[in-house]
Structure 1
């Protein structure tokens, strides 16, 4: 079973939150809300999209990069974990 299938409910919840946030921006723009309010909403969308991206990348790395590594290939597994650490910091 794929990591996206295992975490389907959680991933879909994130996508639905993003959809709601985008709709809120649309409503604010239609209502001619102050630009600072719209910018704050857009910033929250960016954070939510980064969170979704991170979750998908982590799942992919765990299932398709780290797990398939055969015993004795600890260097590659450690490298993959280091990469995930860097990606986590970058996307936050």
Structure 2
């Protein structure tokens, strides 16, 4: 089971709201809305996605990484590298 299983419904609801935000941004561009207004909405959608990502990362560490650490060995090393890579991607984005 993925680490986010307990929060799957909440994550899906949040992602659907973000999807609506992105559709709204596309409509703003279609309607030739003011650049700064569009950028403000892009920033809000980006922030919302980052919030989802951090929640997923937190749940991954609390579930998958902790479980792998208990097992030790190769699985522990793999999970630690995965989480390190994920954090690096989030920091770059």
The two structures have a TM-score, normalised by structure 1, of 0.71
Q: What's 1:45 paired with?
A: 45
Note the residue ranges of structure 1 that are not aligned, 5 or more in a row.
71-79
**Partner Cα separation in structure 2 for residue 40 and residue 20 of structure 1:** 15
Local SS of the residue matching 1:2? coil
Q: What's 1:66 paired with?
A: 66
Q: Deviations over 1:20-44 (max 9, x none)?
A: 1101101100110000000000000
Q: What's 2:75 paired with?
A: none
Q: What's 1:73 paired with?
A: none
**Partner Cα separation in structure 2 for residue 4 and residue 65 of structure 1:** 12
**Partner Cα separation in structure 2 for residue 50 and residue 59 of structure 1:** 14
1:66 deviates by 2.2
The two structures have a TM-score, normalised by structure 2, of 0.70
More helix by share: 2
**Partner Cα separation in structure 2 for residue 51 and residue 39 of structure 1:** 18
Q: Deviations over 1:27-84 (max 9, x none)?
A: 10011000000000000011001001001100100001124544xxxxxxxxx8xx9x
Q: What's 2:56 paired with?
A: 56
**Partner Cα separation in structure 1 for residue 36 and residue 55 of structure 2:** 29
